[in-house]
Structure 1
């Protein structure tokens, strides 16, 4: 997801590493912190793979800033990642939000809708945090106040997301 975030933010505009890190942190750092030890090696891999360009610009002080920009190869990689998210990128909320953050870069509305369909399909399958005899436990079926809270919040969130996904898919299915 780190590489998707790097490619996605650089598809919007060239950035220096510090600004890129700040944007990634704002997107998902509250759940999955991004360290320099993960970010800069990922940037280096993407540069070596020809997906990013790097050049120096004068900094505010004496040190020059490394400015990163997306190459055509990087843009194609971004689009491919958005067209075909991995199953975990559909099922994991934080990872799906990262995909969703950059899905507008995918130019084909049908492809955008297909990604949303995959998420909606996942969200319509019965599930729970807790199971009894292999069956999902609902909030009304537990006496544990705290588990009830978890299950009720998850249900409300799921209902809201399913409603939005349905609306978004319908909008994408309309002629532009």
Structure 2
């Protein structure tokens, strides 16, 4: 997810590390904050792999700023990751939202729709947070705990909203309409 976010934000424009960290934090929020100890080693790995370049430019003080810029190989890597996300990037909501944040970087509506179809198929598979003794999903209406019932009701509403958005967006993409 961190690599995808780095590539996605640098696809738009060159950034220095602090700006990049701020944008990633804005995307993932409190759920998955990014630390310097995770960000800067990831940047170093991407630079070593030739996916981004670092250049110096004058800073506001005496020290120069290190600006990060995506290479052509980095753009290709991002497009490949977006066209064929890992299974965890489809099944995990925060990871999927990271994919969705940059999915418009794929210029092929058919490829965009294929990713959304994978997420929709995942959401349409029966699942629950809780199961009865026979292994069947517990519906909110059968849950005695008000806290678990609340979790199930919120998940149901959120899932319905996401499925409706996915279905509508897929229809728009496959119908040739811009989203």
- Report the TM-score, using the length of structure 2 for normalisation: 0.97
Structure 1 residue 175 displacement after superposition: 2.3
Shift of 1:174: 1.5
- Tell me, yes or no, if structure 1 residue 135 matches structure 2 residue 133: no
Number of residues of Structure 1 aligned to a counterpart in Structure 2: 176
Query: How far does residue 91 in structure 1 lie from its aligned partner after superposition?
Result: 0.5
2:67 maps to 1:76: no
d(CA) in 2 for partners of 1:154, 1:3: 28
More deviation in 28-37 or 105-114?
Answer: 28-37
Alignment partner of 1:12 is 2:12 = yes
Confirm or deny that 1:154 pairs with 2:128: no
Matched, 1:167 2:168: yes
SS at match of 1:50: coil
CA displacement 1:109-135 (0-9 Å, x = unmatched): 000000000000000011100011111
Give the match's secondary structure for 1:162. Answer: helix
Deviations 1:25-81 (A, max 9, x none): 010031111010110000001011000011001111111100011000000000010
Tell me the equivalent position of 1:103: 103
- SS in structure 2 opposite 1:56? strand
User: SS in structure 2 opposite 1:54?
Assistant: strand
Structure 2 residue matching 1:38: 3-state secondary structure: helix
What does 1:54-65 correspond to in 2, within 5 Å? 54-65=54-65
Distance 1:169 1:175 in 2: 10
SS in 2 for 1:103: helix
User: In angstroms, what is the RMSD of aligned CA positions?
Assistant: 0.7
Matched residue of 1:131: which SS?
coil
Unaligned runs of 5+ in 2: none
Q: 1:122: which partner in 2?
A: 122
Give the deviation of 1:142 after TM superposition: 1.1
Deviation at 1:87, TM superposition (A): 0.7
